[in-house]
């Protein structure tokens, strides 16, 4: 069994203004559930987690949960949430009340867009994180490398919250050894918290345009050392990955970048960790 724990869907005309950047022209088009299903089927992927796409609007949650209700391969949805708002609990309840609401498995805020590297230390954010934990949901961390220390402090402050680090905290893979040095200690401090899981996603777009799996390997190796296979999961970051590679290329790159691991550990990375962390029970199908 293979679960893709991180992908997106969007229709640019519905408010995805970040796609207006000239360098994103290649992905400035609709990506639909039908497109996703074709990619998963062609790559032998059994299911996936649909993650909010930067629209930062509550209407997106209802749209995505509806997609999930109609698309058997979408096993769960991580919806957008303003974690600093004073209505976190009420918003989660509204999401759960729409069609497909039972497939809500997590929420995410665009923390990476906050200029403040200590944004996650703010009292209103900590309050919101505690409410997410009380709701039984995962909080996906989409943060820059300089925000990792604050993420570690948040993990310690709200130990009952399951946190998933998207894209391994966006290390500067394009800077090679310098990028590794600037990220290694921060990722180790975050991974020291047992309530944090790392997502092996979004790495190809942090590398140089002429990247190879060898560029990713040192960062993946550190992640395996710090988190262990039982706290790592595979994610394609499709269709963002198309800026560097097609879907099969991302899967091959991770396979090539991973250090030698026994089969049970690989099963954790490719399915078990995601199923367990996000509590993906839609089909009652345990990882093989």
Residue 284 included in any domain: no
Which tens digits make up the pLDDT trace of 32-51? Answer: 999 999 999 999 999 999 99
Count how many domains the chain has. Answer: 1
Token pair belonging to 82? 């303003």
For 76-93, b/e burial (b = at least 16 CB within 10 A) is bbbbbbbbbeeebeebbe
Which tens digits make up the pLDDT trace of 223-253? Answer: 999 999 999 999 999 999 999 999 999 999 9
pTM over 0.75: yes
Which tens digits make up the pLDDT trace of 185-228? Answer: 999 999 999 999 999 999 999 999 999 999 999 999 999 999 99
Residue 73 included in any domain: yes
Task: Answer for the pair 154, 196: CB distance below 8 angstroms, yes or no.
Answer: no
**Dihedrals φ, ψ of 139, to 5°?**
-110, 120
From the list 109, 103, 92, the residue with the least C-alpha distance to 147 is 109
Which tens digits make up the pLDDT trace of 46-93? Answer: 999 999 999 999 999 999 999 999 999 999 999 999 999 999 999 999
DSSP character string of 81-115: --TTSTTHHHHHHHHHTSTTGGGEEEEEE-GGG-S
pLDDT confidence bin for 285, thresholds 50/70/90: very low
Q: Residue holding tokens 């609007």?
A: 57
Residue 287 included in any domain: no
Which tens digits make up the pLDDT trace of 121-154? Answer: 999 999 999 999 999 999 999 999 999 999 999 9
Cα dist from 145 to 43, 170, 279, whole Å: 31, 6, 27
- Measure the CA–CA gap between 168 and 202, rounded to whole angstroms: 8
Domain extent, residue 156, equals 3-278
Judge whether residue 283 has pLDDT over 80.
no
- Measure the CA–CA gap between 67 and 101, rounded to whole angstroms: 11
- Measure the CA–CA gap between 193 and 158, rounded to whole angstroms: 10
Return the CATH number at 233: 3.20.20.140
**Cα 223 to the center of its chain, rounded Å:** 15
């Amino acid at each position: 069994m293979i679960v893709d724990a991180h992908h997106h869907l969007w229709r640019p005309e519905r408010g995805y203004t970040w796609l207006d950047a000239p360098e994103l022209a290649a992905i400035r088009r609709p990506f639909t559930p039908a497109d996703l299903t074709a990619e998963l089927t062609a790559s032998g992927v059994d299911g996936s987690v649909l993650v909010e796409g930067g629209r930062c609007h509550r209407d997106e949650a209802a749209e995505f949960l509806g997609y999930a209700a109609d698309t058997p391969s979408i096993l769960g949805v991580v919806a957008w949430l303003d974690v600093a708002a004073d209505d976190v609990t009420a918003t989660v309840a509204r999401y759960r009340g729409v069609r497909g609401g039972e497939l809500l498995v997590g929420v995410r805020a665009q923390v990476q867009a906050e200029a403040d590297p200590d944004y996650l230390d703010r009292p209103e954010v900590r309050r919101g994180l505690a409410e997410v934990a009380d709701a039984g949901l995962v909080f996906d961390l989409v943060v820059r490398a300089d925000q990792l220390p604050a993420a570690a402090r948040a993990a310690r402050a709200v130990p009952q919250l399951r946190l998933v680090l998207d894209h391994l905290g966006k290390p500067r893979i394009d800077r090679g050894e310098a990028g590794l040095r600037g990220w290694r200690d921060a990722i180790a401090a975050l991974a020291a918290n047992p309530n944090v899981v790392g997502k092996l996603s979004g790495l190809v777009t942090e590398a140089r345009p002429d990247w190879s799996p060898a560029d990713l390997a040192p960062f993946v190796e550190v992640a395996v050392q710090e988190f262990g296979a039982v706290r790592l999961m595979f994610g394609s970051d499709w269709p963002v990955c198309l800026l560097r590679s097609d879907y099969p290329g991302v899967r091959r790159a991770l396979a090539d970048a991973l250090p030698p691991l026994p089969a049970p550990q690989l099963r954790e990375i490719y399915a078990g960790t995601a199923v367990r962390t996000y509590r993906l029970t839609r089909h009652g199908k345990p990882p093989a």
